[in-house]
A and B are shown apart, each in its own frame.
Chain A
Amino acid sequence: MQPDKELQFLQALQKGEQQAVEKLVNEYYPSLLNFLLRMGCQPGDAEDIIQETFIKAARGLNNYQSRNRFRIWLFKICHNSLRDYYKKASRRREIPLDPVNLPAAGTDHPENYIMKREQALRVQAALKRLPSKQRLVVVLRYYHGFSLKEIASMVHCPVGTVKSRLNKALSSLKSIMQEGDGL
């Protein structure tokens, strides 16, 4: 979103205008949902965390400084909400590698659909084997296209650290992929 348009959008959002709220949810809900699922979140938990993220964002709109891009700010809130959500021991549970937790593949041919599910399982398993910090960097970089600098500002660490986490994650993924059938 361009800075001028973003400012107008935020002003409308601060007023609680229906259109702005709809735009906010329609635009960012899918990417936040995918972010959380790729981070290994259960779909039900993901919905709760997204609602919490939007509510925190709505509460914090008055403190939002437009020098940071809105998308980065929202992802930062989402990441913090995810962390807080799983800090609560009662909510922490082992995520089973079950195709039920995978997103629907749309209206594909059944064979294609099964293949895609199997492939998705492989990716899910590979991501799950990464340490959470490395997984976060991989998800933000490759699935959501954030730059290293943006990721560094999100996770509060130097760019060099992000880079090294990304390199470690890639080499881990490479070895996981080479294991192949081991997944």
Chain B
Amino acid sequence: MDLQERRKKVAEYEAFVEQRLVVDLEKASNEREKLLQQIQDYTSLADSVRLLQTDTHQLHTMVNLGSDILAQARVPDATRIFVDIGLGFHAELTWDEAIAFCQKKEIELNRKLDDDNRRIAGIKSNINLVLEGIRELSQL
């Protein structure tokens, strides 16, 4: 391979890294971030429910009206709560059901997280592979 040809190859591989691999990596990382957020949400929901259980049936809380203006709110009967169970459905669940659901959801989300982690690792190793190839090509 002459120099010109090699330069062309390097440019091609670089373009592949920039346009495909890096973009994919970003996308996958964003998805992973979202998953982490969801996992945290469900964990904190389970914690809140456990907190409720130790308390009375009433719930005193502050509601954010927007622009961080808070109003006091009282829920006279908080034994049943509505939980987003996915697909836009919000089911009325008892505390125990809600906690059970949170645990189930967490397991599922963690499985997804594993998948994402594996995918990200794959993309990263591909990037390294191509970069290594580029280095070799430009050194030769």
Q: Do A and B come from one complex?
A: no
